[in-house]
Structure 1
């Protein structure tokens, strides 16, 4: 695996370099925001994962994440945020980050998050590596989803710009129409590890997913207050 870590704290970089070497992962460590973005853009397809601090010289993590998502919807991005910056965490997820880790963090926690995200990305790649012939795995009244091509067609229009986590959320909910999923269930099914009750991750991704659905027509992701979310397009004409 090839990782780019954009982090201006030298001690953090040195610590993670040892752990990455133990995992036999190749990593580039960049301390400047713009330099890190430029390195990423020189060969976007070569990177398997981005670890991105929020507070960086020359360009902050939010800007970098936004620019990265313009050229790649699929590369996993993990943001590093301060422990008390709840708004930054939510905004980061809305910008397209797949996950966040709060500082100070345990290297083993970050390694576990990396493995969970890349395992999900590898499964998605395997699903899309065969025939490109469109075979919709999910067909409801208004929605069609093809997991091989990563297409989601709603009201005869493609839902554009879905990140990997947004696609997985829509797929999971639509696979069981009208079934209510709690936030804890969605965290376990889509993120693959314990978030220790941090439900803001689901809420932020649902919000972004709904914004993209709104561009195609009436909303099909419903909130069940006090429980969680469900997909239902049966009442939409």
Structure 2
């Protein structure tokens, strides 16, 4: 197995060179792109050959949001780490809605960036090993929903949704801890392997996306419910849980 291959999509030339240099020092193989169309073309022409993407949002030709959406139509698993000077919560929410895994604002500390890169690559490798151990019938069903962990797919009635790696990891964790109230800080630590003080609000974005997939009425969820002031709880049989309570 060769060194991890990382796409750096950044139009600020000095920053792109610095990122490439430091990634090489860590033993990675970077490929640098200064505009959106070139980056997307490379990714499409090299299926399965990219292990992680560092993605700026403001790019010539097409935005990072557009690139992320296009990548997610063909690959839900490659980790995407957004690097952006945009700090508004709306920007984060839009990036997460497009399928990014993590969001780091500029300027950032190099050690934190490299730590996130390592964590994302390690998590992706563990997920790959887990998939190899899965059988095609590794399913979880509740209500009208069927979760196929091996295919990263969720069927709700007749509609099939493909999840990203982080979405599937979060859903798996929630299912594994069914009935347990999970705080945002715990989810961030156990699912994202991040410190609890790092943007716990990003959890809410992922939860909203999962609700759109598994709930009949995402605005009034029954399976993935909010616990005021704490976090979330997953109930596969909400009617039964209410009776027991």
Q: Could you say which structure has the greater relative contact order, defined with CA pairs below 8 angstroms and 6 or more residues apart?
A: 1
Distance 1:126 1:225, change over 3 A: same
Residue 192 of structure 1: how far off its partner (Å): 0.8
Aligned residue number for residue 180 of structure 2: 179
Unaligned runs of 5+ in 2: 241-245
* Count of aligned residue pairs for this structure pair: 235
Aligned residue number for residue 56 of structure 1: 59
2-structure distance, mates of 1:144, 1:191 = 24
- Superposed CA deviations along residues 161-209 of structure 1, whole A, max 9, x for unmatched, are 1111111111111112110000000000011121524112101111111
Q: Is the 8 A contact 1:132 1:149 kept in 2?
A: no
2-structure distance, mates of 1:13, 1:104 = 13
Aligned residue number for residue 22 of structure 1: 25
Q: Is the 8 A contact 2:152 2:162 kept in 1?
A: no
Residue 35 of structure 1: how far off its partner (Å): 1.2
Aligned residue number for residue 243 of structure 2: none
Q: Is the 8 A contact 1:33 1:59 kept in 2?
A: yes
- For the aligned residue pairs, the C-alpha RMSD in angstroms reads 2.4
Aligned residue number for residue 13 of structure 2: 10
Q: Is the 8 A contact 1:145 1:171 kept in 2?
A: no
Distance 1:197 1:79, change over 3 A: closer
Aligned residue number for residue 233 of structure 1: 236
TM-score (norm 2): 0.86
Unaligned runs of 5+ in 1: none
TM-score (norm 1): 0.89
Task: Report which stretch shifted further, 55-64 or 227-236.
Answer: 227-236
Are positions 1:128 and 2:131 aligned together?
Answer: yes
